[in-house]
């Protein structure tokens, strides 16, 4: 059995991965800023290491004696200079890996992380992929992932209130969408039995491509609002909406730039890249679960 560190372990992907690794008998270290949010994993047998990913000394100590690691660059909606913040974390992560004897790492990246033009929020992931590629003596699996179903959870409140989901993506753009929980299970499998050598990229595309118009139709039917609609905001009003929802201007602009990159076809699957095969959660399964949770919270 291996010693496995899970970065972002209180998050959606990390918590699923940590639980699965504990279930397979590994010694699991869970990293995050808040002990309380890590406690359910501690109760399940993990060791919590509380600290900030910007702190290279914390990370270096957390990775001491670790064989395998799940890494990511979290998103901080309030950050004023998000790219610099993510670069700081990315470099700290690389230094901490290099200072220890880690053999295998999985990195959660985005689709088309080596694509052309301004890719907004995805660009930091591309930079981290480059750093990981240069690491010597560590086998790295990069998962280039489509859009998480879970991103839509925030939008269900507006859908319920106004019958409209607003985003900056074109309504009929087919997008690779996937359950973040599936990604956690995929990462756990890759850390449980790491069959990759060197620097390996795999795309994680989910069951099928979906448009946001279809997504609203599926959720709308389940919440008793079959007339619910999708509305595409301009990048400018999308930024204003995000800032009203407490995002910093910098993060809002990075998200709007990413939406433009999607609309212009610059965030897409690479046909030459191998894909992960998985028993995917369907969007309908996710919508059933989301609706049940929403109903339970409303009663």
Ligand X SMILES: NC(=O)c1ccc[n+]([C@@H]2O[C@H](COP(=O)([O-])OP(=O)(O)OC[C@H]3O[C@@H](n4cnc5c(N)ncnc54)[C@H](OP(=O)(O)O)[C@@H]3O)[C@@H](O)[C@H]2O)c1
The contact set with ligand X (CB under 6 A) reads 8-14, 32-34, 37, 52-54, 72-76, 108, 110, 145, 147-148, 151, 180
Count CB neighbours of 78 within 10 A.
Answer: 11
User: Which residue of this chain has its Cβ atom nearest to ligand X in the complex?
Assistant: 11
Which pair of tokens denotes residue 125?
């992931």
**Nearer to ligand X among residue 58 and residue 199 (C-beta):** 58
**Nearer to ligand X among residue 162 and residue 285 (C-beta):** 285
- The least distance separating ligand X from the CB of residue 180, rounded to whole angstroms, comes to 5
- The least distance separating ligand X from the CB of residue 184, rounded to whole angstroms, comes to 7
- The least distance separating ligand X from the CB of residue 35, rounded to whole angstroms, comes to 9
**Nearer to ligand X among residue 173 and residue 221 (C-beta):** 173
Report the C-alpha gap between 2 and 78 in whole angstroms: 36
- The least distance separating ligand X from the CB of residue 262, rounded to whole angstroms, comes to 11
- The least distance separating ligand X from the CB of residue 151, rounded to whole angstroms, comes to 5
Report the C-alpha gap between 79 and 250 in whole angstroms: 7
Contact indicator for 13, 72 with CB cutoff of 8 Å: yes
**Nearer to ligand X among residue 87 and residue 163 (C-beta):** 87
Contact indicator for 230, 212 with CB cutoff of 8 Å: yes
Q: What is the 3-state secondary structure (H, E, C) of 132-143?
A: HHHCCCCEEEEE
Contact indicator for 119, 126 with CB cutoff of 8 Å: yes
The residue behind tokens 């004897």 is 101
DSSP 122: G
- The least distance separating ligand X from the CB of residue 55, rounded to whole angstroms, comes to 8
What 3-state class would DSSP assign to 175?
strand
What 3-state class would DSSP assign to 281?
coil
Q: Are strands 209-210 and 175-178 parallel, antiparallel or unpaired?
A: antiparallel
- The least distance separating ligand X from the CB of residue 65, rounded to whole angstroms, comes to 20
**Nearer to ligand X among residue 88 and residue 243 (C-beta):** 88
* Residue spans of alpha helices (H) in the chain: 12-23, 35-43, 56-62, 82-98, 123-134, 155-162, 180-192, 212-222, 235-244, 249-263, 283-298
């Amino acid at each position: 059995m291996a010693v496995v560190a899970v970065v972002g372990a209180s998050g959606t992907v990390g918590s699923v991965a940590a639980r699965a690794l504990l279930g397979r008998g590994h010694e699991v270290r869970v990293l995050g800023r808040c002990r309380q949010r890590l406690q359910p994993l501690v109760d399940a047998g993990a060791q919590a290491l509380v600290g900030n990913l910007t702190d290279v000394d914390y990370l270096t100590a957390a990775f001491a004696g670790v064989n395998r690691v799940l890494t990511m660059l979290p998103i901080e909606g309030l950050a004023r200079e998000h790219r610099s913040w993510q670069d700081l974390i990315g470099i700290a992560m690389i230094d901490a890996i290099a200072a220890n004897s880690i053999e295998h790492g999985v990195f959660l990246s985005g689709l088309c992380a080596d694509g052309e033009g301004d890719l907004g929020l995805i660009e930091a992931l591309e930079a981290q992929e480059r750093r990981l590629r240069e690491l010597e003596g560590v086998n790295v699996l990069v998962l280039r992932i489509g859009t998480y179903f879970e991103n839509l959870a925030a939008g269900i409140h507006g859908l319920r209130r106004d019958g409209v989901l607003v985003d900056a993506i074109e309504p009929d753009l087919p997008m690779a969408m996937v359950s973040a929980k599936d990604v956690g299970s995929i990462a756990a499998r890759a850390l449980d039995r790491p069959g990759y050598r060197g620097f390996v990229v795999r795309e994680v595309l989910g069951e099928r491509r979906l448009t946001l118009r279809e997504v609203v139709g599926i959720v709308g039917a389940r919440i008793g609002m079959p007339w619910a609609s999708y509305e595409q905001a301009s990048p400018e009003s999308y930024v204003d909406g995000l800032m009203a929802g407490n995002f910093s201007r910098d993060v809002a602009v990075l998200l709007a730039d990413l939406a433009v990159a999607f609309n212009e076809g610059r965030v897409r699957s690479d046909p030459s890249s191998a894909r992960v095969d998985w028993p995917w959660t369907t969007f309908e399964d996710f919508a059933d679960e989301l609706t049940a949770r929403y109903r339970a919270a409303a009663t």
